Structure 1
Amino acid sequence: MKCYRCSNTDPAYFYFDQGVYYCRKCIMFSRLDANTKIKPVSLTHKIIQIQPKLKYELTTKQKEVSFKVCQLLKEGNDVFLYACTGAGKTEITLESICYYLSQGKKVGFAISRRQVVLEIRERLQKIFPSLHIVAVTQGYTKDTDGDIIVCTMHQLYRYPYAFDLLIMDEVDAFPYIGNDVLSSIASLSCTGQKLYLSATPDKTLLEKSKVVTLFQRPHGKPLLIPEVIVSPVFIQLFCILYYVKKWKEKQCLIFVPRRKDCIWLHYFLLPFVSNSFIHSQITNKDEIIDQFHQKKFQCLISTTLLERGITIPDVSVIVFSTDHIVYTVSTLIQILGRVGRSFSDPYGKGVLLCQSISPSIKECIHQLKQMNKDVESVMIK
């Protein structure tokens, strides 16, 4: 027996019901009987000749990387764009997107997190104002076809054999990383080439793809190497107060390891600084993020929910209890990547508070220093 959606062949994951076996491994996406072939989804295809409308010109290195990525894709390769946070990964995909659209091919953009799906759709719509760009994620599933489809990894189940170019951002993040079901569904959805994007790549994907690297942000300044403060927890709280007051002209993202930490830290800081909090169980996430963008409050306390995707100009970052197990190397690199992205504040401010320096903290700092060292190189592997 085989499931043609998730590639499951393990008998333990098949259940016998009313004379047929069905796959339980991907049952969350709807029931599919064993050995049932999946038909291609019906989507509109048209030849679109278009050029991106950007408010700024790409840097020389961005143009070089963009060209190399597009050439490798044209040659039939899957490509991994290994670029530091803030390097402009989305902008680097534009040349490839335009090429595939000009050939009448379908382009999909898949991302792990719902909030980032909505942000990427908005950015692409501004870059391609004449195109119909849809976001397909929780709460946005009525319109599922467009000139470019931006969706979460889970929503790829709607698109068997759909995409000639599938751009996959955050492939090292939950829930995609290590998820065989989502990996199979992604492979089923793409009949052409995949373009992976990440600042913290998975070694397996690096080995399977052509790799293009870029470790320079558009403003050309080095990545932030954070200040690390080792102290007891109660001292860390006073450090948070000290830094948010010191950086009072900036907005601040404060990362905590657990949902309950968001709540008590919110009330602890409330007499001293305007703040709100967000985690995976909050129902009005979009509203809170929008208010933060509008500078309705100075500090936003978050779990690792906002480690990726969110872009706030001139923001500083504080990480509380950084030695907690939830903070992996990739998580810390992504968190610190929120800082120093804008031309007005290219260096930024970031502090890691911990009771001891964990291996993740050491490796994170090592990788950031290595990226700064390799900033002048654009490599293809």
Structure 2
Amino acid sequence: MKCLRCGNTDPVYFYQDQDVWYCRKCIAFGRVNVNELPPRKQYQRKRHTCHPQLKYPLTPAQKKASDELRRNLTLKQDSLVFACCGAGKTEIVMEAIADYLAMGKKVGFAISRRQVVLEIAERMQEAFPSLSVIAVCEGYTDIVDGDLIICTMHQLYRYHQTFDLLIMDEVDAFPYRGNAILKAIAMHACVGEKIYLTATPDDEMRKEVSAHHLNMVELFQRPHGYPLIVPEVKRGYSWMQITYLLLFLKSQRKAKIQTLVFVPTIRIAHRLTRFLSLKYACCAFTSKTENKEKIIKEFHEGAYEFLVATTVLERGITIKGIYVVILFADHPVFNEASLIQMIGRVGRSIEMPTGKGLFLCKRKTKDITQCITSLRKMNEGG
């Protein structure tokens, strides 16, 4: 027996309902009987002649990457876009999106995190004002079809054999990474070409490139031309790290610059926020936080001097002029990829292309060292 949606062949996950067997491994996405495909829904396909309207034109490096990507798609080849944080991954796929829409083909853009889905949908709507751009994620599932669909990875189950072009961002991150069910659902959602976007490709993706299953498109230059921020590392016991943090926050208050303080656990986030809120306007931001959109909006508006966040904010968020501190950076939860992503929040905007990053730790781990090495290599052009 085999589930044609998730690929499961383990008998433990099959259950018999009278004379019919079905898969329980992917039952969260609806029941699928053995040897049956999920129903294919008919989503609208229209020709749209549109060109992305960007606030700033693509830089020569971005234009080169965009053209290379479009050539790969013309040859029906899948691509991996390896671009540093803030390089404009979203912008360089827009011309490819326009190409497919002009042919009346269906385009989907899938991201791991709900928060980023809403942000990308807003950016796409600004770039393509004549299109119906639909965000599909938790709390936004009343309308699931439009000219351009932006969704979480989990929501791809709705689109079996639907997309002629599927763009997937953050494929190296939870919950997609290492999740065979989500990967199978994503593969079944696409009947054409795929584009993977990441600033931190893992070994599996690099092997796909080496085996010529993916074409690599690289972009290590931010639009403003300034180098990536390489963090300063300060070592000390826990109380010393807290002291360094307090000194950093005091200097940022004088400069009136907001800060993201990353910590490894939810418990630490809440304890640190309670302590710091005696003196600062701050808020904890974790996977358990309610009203996430409201808090991010208030942070953008300057209501908080800083957020104390877990890795839930390591990707996707763009705030003008932000600085970053990672407390207990040697904690096992912080790997090279997450450290690169977190420090990548600094210096993203054209208006404020520079900034500061600080790693506070008891010891300089292999992941910290590799993160710094990778950032320096990107600044040297890869």
Note if contact 2:53-2:127 (Cα within 8 Å) is conserved in structure 1.
Answer: yes
Q: Do the aligned partners of 2:171 and 2:196 also contact (CA within 8 Å) in 1?
A: yes
Partner of 2:229: 224
| CA distance in structure 2 between the aligned counterparts of 1:74 and 1:203, rounded to whole angstroms | 27
The alpha carbon displacement at 1:19 in A equals: 2.5
2:257 aligns with 250
Aligned partner of 2:97 in structure 1 is 97
Which position in structure 2 is the counterpart of 1:171?
A: 171
1:187 corresponds to: 187
Number of paired residues? Answer: 375
Percent of paired sites with the same residue: 50
The alignment status of 1:51 with 2:51, answered yes or no, reads yes
Contact 2:32 2:38 in 1 (8 A): no
Cα deviation for residue 180 of structure 1 reads 0.5
Letter matched to residue 9 of structure 1: T
User: 1:24, 1:75 → 2: CA distance?
Assistant: 38
2:40 and 2:280 map into 1 onto residues whose CA distance is: 53
Q: How far apart are 1:220 and its partner, in Å?
A: 0.8
Which portions of structure 1, spanning 4 or more consecutive aligned residues, are displaced by more than 4 angstroms? none
Cα shift at 1:203: 2.6
Q: 2:108 aligns to what?
A: 108
| Residue 336 in structure 1 maps to residue 349 in structure 2 | no
Rounded to whole Å, the distance in 1 between the matches of 2:16 and 2:370 is 48
What is residue 291 of structure 2 aligned with on the other side? 284
5 Å matches for 1:8-47?
A: 8-47=8-47
CA distance in 2, matches of 1:321, 1:204: 28
2:318 paired with 1:316: no
Tell me if 1:133 matches 2:129: no
Q: What is the TM-score of this pair, normalised by structure 2?
A: 0.96
Matched, 1:63 2:68: no
How far off its partner does 1:185 sit? 0.2
The aligned counterpart of 1:150 is 150
- Corresponding residue for residue 378 of structure 1: none
Partner of 1:236: 241
Q: By how many angstroms is 1:12 displaced?
A: 2.2
Query: Please, what is the CA RMSD of the aligned residues?
Result: 1.0
Cα offset, 1:113, TM superposition? 0.3
Quick one: which amino acid aligns to residue 97 of structure 1?
I
Deviation at 1:272, TM superposition (A): 2.1
Alignment partners' CA distance in 1, 2:344 and 2:60: 22
TM-score, normalised relative to structure 1: 0.97
Which whole-Å deviations, capped at 9, do the CAs of 1:36-91 have from their partners, x for residues lacking one? 12232210000000011111111011111101101101110000000000000000
Q: What residue identity is the alignment partner of 1:234?
A: W
- 3-state secondary structure, aligned to 2:134: strand
